[in-house]
């Protein structure tokens, strides 16, 4: 009887435990689902905010990255929408697609013509900035020389996103845009390598007051580590780029090839970093090779889809990181550290000026000239951004003056984004690098007047047809508007005839618009089942081939 009762009690306890386990499991699942839903809502809110800010930036003609930072600053005062800007988020999730997308658009032929100034600014330039900034901060007495040198190493990374977007909008010379963007790509890679070497040498072998061992041994160690990490990363990138191009050449599926490009961008970064090599330089090397060979290894349709995909990913990554930069700012801390920030801003500007003008002079003596107007843009367009912040935030809590370094980094980044990025437009125009010639502006002015008069004519015609406008008034105004339209049309035709290069641009733009319209029509026909998939892809390929052509494309499909 006792055994039966004991067994009954034991079974009852087991049932109770199982019920509690089920309840606990259900609770955990509920919390996980609730957290996932909350994260999804936050991401949707952030994406909506990014879209609205981008549209606003287009209206007010300010770099959208600057507007994003300003919006982030406003959001830093609220509590509902909270994100944390961590070094892992920047270096592992955001940096690889940004670097890969920029590298895809670097043309080998243009890069060859500017490789000397690019390498000078990306290697000796980083070291110059590090030592000059470190020296100025050390002489100021605000921090020790090791901490000053560490800050100099992480602040050397440039982030010209806002400047490059202005280049595209204003039609700046392609060589200048490639020079600025290429320097930034290689600069990021070398800065990260130098930063880790400085941390290892200065803070793992000595204290703020202690020594670091034999100077010659330290220099040899630093040079060896730099060559190993940098060349190892480049080697991995070149190897993966060559293999990737051969795989792309065997495929003809834009979805698979776009997926593989994503694997390459993130995969080689993680692979290189796992061997303590430069993931950034690996991604840069692979991206340049894939972009250079894409016209031969990919179909026109695949190339168009892939470029559009990475353009969107880069837009998304940039938008998120610049909003988070603004949201991470703590004004009280920046105000408290105003003196170190002011000294850091002056030091960074002086260091950038000395490195740009000195190394450009050296490049001019070697043979690859950098015009003085380009040098001014390189100096003032040397913005700081996500990479510097990620390196500062990655510092261990045992690093002396860590909080001061982070505050100085935030201060310099905000200054470059809110002051330099917003004034580079005027500098480009002053130097004659805006690319919009007076003839183009005059054509737009005449065309704007003509379109405005046509809009007024159509509006009044609608009112007359609906019986709102008096017939007598309509006849009088109609004659005036028709005369005005005729005069403006004649003026526009005469101006286009006197400026054939503008007419050629207009024709080229109209032909491309015709091709894009045809592509959209084919997509609609395919969706409605009026065109088979094979025929639709064939027609897509023909149109994409015409769009890829550097010469003026034909406005219609050609027969085989």
Q: Residues 476, 525: contact at Cβ < 8 Å? A: no
CB atoms within 10 A of CB 417: 25
Rounded mean pLDDT, 537-555: 68
Rounded mean pLDDT, 251-269: 93
Residue 553 has what DSSP assignment?
Answer: P
Q: What is the rounded CA–CA span in Å between residue 330 and residue 73? A: 9
- CA–CA distance from 385 to each of 57, 109, 341, 410, 460 (Å)? 19, 28, 15, 9, 52
Task: Report helix, strand or coil for 82.
Answer: coil
| Predicted pLDDT at 208 | 40
Rounded mean pLDDT, 156-166: 76
Mean pLDDT of the chain: 83
User: Taking the mean position of all CA atoms in its chain, how far away is CA 168?
Assistant: 13
User: Taking the mean position of all CA atoms in its chain, how far away is CA 526?
Assistant: 34
Element (H, E) at 54: helix 2-60
Task: Say if residue 103's pLDDT is above 50.
Answer: yes
- Report the percent of the chain where pLDDT is more than 70: 85
| Predicted pLDDT at 325 | 84
Chain segment 31-74, per-residue pLDDT in tens = 567 777 877 887 888 888 888 888 887 777 777 788 888 888 88
Tokens of 229: 């990490």
| Predicted pLDDT at 3 | 44
Chain segment 127-142, per-residue pLDDT in tens = 999 999 999 999 998 8
Q: CB-based contacts of 47: which residues, under 8 Å, 6+ apart?
A: 316
Q: Half-sphere exposure of 319 toward its Cβ, with a 13 Å CA cutoff?
A: 20
H helices of 466-532, in order, are: 471-498, 500-527
- Dihedral sign for Cα atoms in the order 233, 397, 347, 67: positive
Angle of the 254-274 helix axis to the 215-250 helix axis, nearest 10: 160
Q: Residues 507, 521: contact at Cβ < 8 Å? A: no
- DSSP letters, 352-394, are HHHHHHHHHHHHHHHT----HHHHHHHHHT----HHHHHHHHT
Q: Specify the higher pLDDT residue, 16 or 347.
A: 347
Q: Residues 374, 176: contact at Cβ < 8 Å? A: yes
| Predicted pLDDT at 284 | 93
Nearest to 98 by CA among 154, 180, 181, 169: 181
CB atoms within 10 A of CB 512: 16
| pLDDT-based confidence at residue 2 (cuts at 50, 70, 90) | very low
Q: What is the rounded CA–CA span in Å between residue 238 and residue 242? A: 6
Chain segment 181-198, per-residue pLDDT in tens = 899 889 888 999 999 899
Report the range out of 25-34, 337-346, 447-456 with the highest average pLDDT: 337-346
Report the range out of 52-66, 237-251, 544-558 with the highest average pLDDT: 237-251
| pLDDT-based confidence at residue 119 (cuts at 50, 70, 90) | very high
Q: What is the rounded CA–CA span in Å between residue 188 and residue 182? A: 10
| pLDDT-based confidence at residue 1 (cuts at 50, 70, 90) | very low
- DSSP letters, 396-461, are -TTSTTHHHHHHHHHHHHHHIIIIIHHHHHHHHHHTT-S---HHHHHHHHHHHHHHHHHHHHHHHH
Q: Residues 272, 232: contact at Cβ < 8 Å? A: yes
Chain segment 516-544, per-residue pLDDT in tens = 788 878 888 888 888 888 888 888 888 87
Annotate 292-331 with b (16+ C-beta within 10 A) or e (fewer). Answer: bbbeebbbbbbbbbbbebbeebbbebbbbbbbbbbbbbee
Q: How far apart are the first and last CA of the chain?
A: 95
Rounded mean pLDDT, 210-237: 80
Task: Say if residue 221's pLDDT is above 90.
Answer: no
| Predicted pLDDT at 8 | 54
Nearest to 241 by CA among 265, 258, 271: 265
| pLDDT-based confidence at residue 265 (cuts at 50, 70, 90) | very high
Task: List the single range of 287-291, 315-319, 343-347, 483-487 with lowest mean pLDDT.
Answer: 315-319
Chain segment 298-338, per-residue pLDDT in tens = 887 888 889 999 999 988 888 888 888 888 877 888 888 89
Nearest to 378 by CA among 189, 168, 194, 183: 183
| Predicted pLDDT at 21 | 55
Q: Specify the higher pLDDT residue, 548 or 472.
A: 472
Rounded mean pLDDT, 132-161: 90
| Predicted pLDDT at 27 | 54
Tokens of 357: 């003008």
| Predicted pLDDT at 528 | 84
| Predicted pLDDT at 26 | 54
Rounded mean pLDDT, 450-456: 89
Tokens of 542: 């023909």
Task: List the single range of 34-48, 166-180, 198-212, 381-395 with lowest mean pLDDT.
Answer: 198-212
Rounded mean pLDDT, 500-504: 77
- DSSP letters, 506-518, are HHHHHHHHHHHHH
Q: Write down the residue that tokens 């290429």 correspond to.
A: 182
């Amino acid at each position: 009887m006792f055994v039966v009762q004991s067994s009954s009690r034991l079974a009852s306890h087991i049932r109770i435990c199982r019920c509690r386990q089920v309840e606990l499991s259900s609770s955990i699942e509920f919390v996980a689902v609730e957290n996932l839903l909350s994260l999804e809502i936050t991401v949707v809110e952030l994406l909506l905010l990014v879209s609205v800010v981008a549209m606003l930036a287009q209206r007010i003609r300010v770099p959208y990255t600057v507007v994003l930072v300003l919006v982030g600053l406003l959001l830093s005062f609220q509590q509902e929408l909270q994100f944390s800007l961590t070094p892992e988020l920047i270096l592992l999730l955001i940096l690889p697609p940004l670097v890969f997308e920029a590298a895809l658009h670097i043309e080998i032929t243009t890069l060859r013509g500017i490789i000397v100034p690019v390498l000078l600014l990306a290697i000796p330039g980083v070291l110059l900035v590090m030592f000059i900034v470190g020296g100025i901060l050390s002489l100021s007495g605000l921090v020790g020389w090791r901490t000053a040198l560490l800050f100099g190493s992480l602040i050397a990374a440039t982030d010209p996103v806002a400047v490059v977007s202005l280049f595209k909008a204003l039609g700046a010379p392609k060589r200048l845009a490639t020079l600025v963007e290429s320097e930034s790509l290689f600069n990021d890679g070398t800065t990260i390598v130098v930063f880790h070497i400085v941390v290892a040498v200065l803070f793992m072998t000595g204290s703020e007051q202690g020594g670091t061992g034999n100077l010659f041994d330290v220099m040899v160690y630093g040079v060896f580590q730099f060559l190993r990490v940098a060349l190892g990363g480049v080697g991995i990138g070149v190897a993966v780029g060559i293999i990737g191009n051969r795989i792309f050449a065997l495929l003809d599926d834009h979805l698979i090839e776009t997926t593989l490009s994503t694997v390459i961008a993130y995969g080689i970064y993680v692979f290189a970093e796992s061997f303590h090599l430069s993931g950034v330089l690996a991604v840069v090397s692979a991206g340049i090779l894939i972009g250079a060979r894409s016209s031969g290894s990919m179909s026109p349709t695949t190339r168009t889809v892939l470029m559009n995909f990475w353009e969107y990913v880069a837009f998304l990554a940039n938008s998120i990181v610049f909003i988070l930069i603004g949201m991470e700012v703590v004004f009280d801390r920046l105000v408290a550290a105003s003196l170190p920030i002011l000294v850091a801003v002056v030091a960074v500007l002086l260091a950038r000026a000395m490195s740009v003008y000195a190394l450009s002079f050296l490049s001019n003596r070697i043979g690859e000239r950098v015009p003085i107007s380009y040098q001014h843009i390189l100096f003032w367009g040397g913005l700081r951004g996500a990479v510097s912040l990620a390196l500062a935030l990655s510092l261990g809590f045992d690093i002396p003056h860590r909080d001061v370094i982070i505050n100085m980094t935030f201060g310099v980044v905000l200054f470059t984004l809110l002051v330099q990025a917003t004034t580079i437009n005027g500098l480009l125009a002053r130097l004659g690098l805006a690319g919009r010639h007076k003839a183009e502006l005059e054509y737009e002015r005449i065309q704007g007047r003509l379109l405005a008069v046509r809009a007024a004519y159509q509006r009044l015609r609608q009112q007359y047809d609906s019986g709102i406008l008096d017939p007598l008034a309509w006849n009088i105004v109609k004659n005036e508007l028709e005369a005005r339209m005729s005069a403006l049309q004649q003026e526009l035709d005469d101006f286009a005839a006197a400026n054939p290069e503008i007419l050629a641009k207009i024709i080229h733009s109209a032909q491309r618009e015709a091709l894009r319209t045809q592509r959209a029509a084919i997509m609609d026909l395919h969706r409605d089942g009026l065109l088979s998939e094979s025929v639709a892809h064939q027609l897509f390929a023909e149109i994409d081939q015409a769009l890829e052509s550097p010469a003026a494309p034909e406005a219609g499909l050609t027969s085989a």
